[in-house]
Chain A
Amino acid sequence: MSQTMPATAAEEEAIALQTQGGSSPSRRGRKNRRGRDGRAPRRPKDSIGVRLRRDWQMLVLMIPGVLCLLLFFYIPILGNVIAFQDYQPYLKITEAPYMAMQNFIDLFDDSRFFLALKNTLILAVVQLLLFFPVPIVLALVVDSMVTPRLRRAFQSIVYLPHFLSWVLVIALFQQMLGGAGFINKFLLTHGMEAIPFMTNPSTFPLLIALENVWKDAGWGMIIFLAALASIDASLYESAAADGAGRFRRAWHITLPGMRPVIVLLLILNLGSILTVGFEQFILQRDAVGADASEVLDTYAYYTGVIGGDWSMGAAAGLAKGVVGTILVLLANKFAHMLGEDGIYRGSAR
């Protein structure tokens, strides 16, 4: 289903996954086992008919949600078959000629696709290096603020940009850093050269990372703050009593306490490395040019919706989706090898 807050997919997923991965699969697992050896003999399962009569109101309540899921998630997913067809808007999907893998072969012959892939990977790596540590550092700073009112005020301020749209964020950036923006006006009136922050293609990945940090680093801090808050304060106290200094405590208590969350988010980031966002790039395409800002999502958009080559666009989207899924699974496997829980627990546990 399409995201209500488009640019925040990563965080939403992260938080949701934390909920999911952290507790419910294991809880479900335990319940199942108990069901098998304990509860099942005591209370035989009701037949479908009985449960239908008992639960019909609940099932009615599900209808709106089911409709939404079908119309705007599951049926569109089936629509991906056009990636294997030569789809034309005037044909029905069932009438479009079958092309097997031809669209994917064409995709790999298209130099723009490789440009988009290259840009996506570069942007993602820069993002990972520059963005990822910031929320952790911010969370540590906030956690160490001992005056509650100051802490709350600071949190209020840094969460705010998360709720602004990308259009607004980029408009603000443009007004500050653009060619005629606040900072360049200042530089020019003080006899310095203007710096093309917003239009230089070679520094574009840095700009993107900076925008992401500005918008979402504060919000990304929430999950680390929750991890920090769950560390038992008496550990710190006894460590301090034993003479451990600030840095020894950070190293031996804080970091181990945050490790599972850090690993989880790192995995998620690695898994979603092909999803770098869409709005940010389409909004800045005019400023830095298509060569620097083409990513897989914009490639699909311009090839399909604008260029009219629907099947190629869908093929690009599907290829991205499949590779992305494989990456998540691989990253999760890797986490298990490191002895972490990852986004879901192995069934053997």
Chain B
Amino acid sequence: MKRIIPVFLLLVFWSGLQPARAELTIEITSGTEGALPIAVVPFAWNGPGTPPEDVAEIVAADLARSGQFAPLPRADMLSRPARPEDIRYRDWRAVGVDNLVIGRIVPREGGGYTVEFRLFDVFRGRQLTGYSFPTSGERLRETAHRVADIVYETLTGERGAFRTWIAYVTVTGSGDERRYSLQVADSDGYNPRTVLRSRQPLMSPSWSPDARRLAYVSFEQETAEVYVQELATGQRRKVASYQGINGAPSWSPDGRQLALTLSQDGNAEIYILSLDSGRLRRLTRHPAIDTEPAWAPDGRSLVFTSDRGGSPQLYRLAVDGGRPERLTFEGGYNASADFAPDGERLALLHRDGRGNYRVAVQDLERGMLTLVSEGRLDESPSFAPNGRMILYATEAGGRGVLAAASVDGRVGQRLRLQEGEVREPAWSPFLE
């Protein structure tokens, strides 16, 4: 069964900054069956007027998007405690929630806020965890994501990935009026920031392991070039500008090398570029298209796309060289590999028997392929840093939107731009 729940469509205001409209809106498109019932009570506000952010709403929306939690609607809450002594556990047992989050936001002298929260086990009637975070107005949403991460980790035993970023490319206009923009937003699509704008295509954003830099492809000189840009300063460096293709950058886990595709010798081949020395090392030698390298988390091998067998399929190659080993055999098109953080699974783009391009997950040990998406023209899968969700690009209403799905395909959601297209999502590593 499919249902569409508009989770939020809010106006975001940064204190001290101009009002910024959320450019991506999220709707949950499928499934919350089997999700853990939880209540996130609106946080008490100990300041004048209305609170600057609805922290509890951000936490609840994060938990809902994971597909692993079903937050209780506020209208169903029998009470709204702000302190532990105000909790009447039977109220919460009566509405069937297992866990309860309460909290408050306190303005600090000299500016900023303190966000306090506590997580309770409703049936045992005891606190599981609780934290107090000093924060600024601009970082209140980030603090809310941090709260959601702690709740998530406490209850599931796995690290939360809400306080992370996504990079993506937007396209507006058509023909000569087409404009490309590389953006970075919070994992829920809020707080979008422009990294680069261009009249020429921008492609293939790739996060450095420390999440401070992006590598990407820009056609701004009317030829493909690979740049590395520092996000905090906007400073960037052209790292590859050879004749032909300069594409598909992928960072080594130590952040010192980029695997990429060059066709300087007349054919698309995989190279490794040392960012310190600028030295290039060619890895593949084959008249086929070899492209889209993805570095394994242990840094010892790469998976790439090649049509050397007659159709695009994924191959694995040791970084030291050797013979590539074919990994995919199901169907006539498997491409765009992205490693799960544990290195044991790949997200990939798979063409099914009906010609639909869909995101799938392949278990590397067993070779089993599981379809995750349901679109016709899906592409660019990217794992969340905790490996639980996959972000990808899809088409809805004739234009490009982003979608996220849980790895088991059970929950799905869409991130839509008000106008234009959004594509090529890349989920950041954990932010330290």
Q: Do A and B come from one complex?
A: no
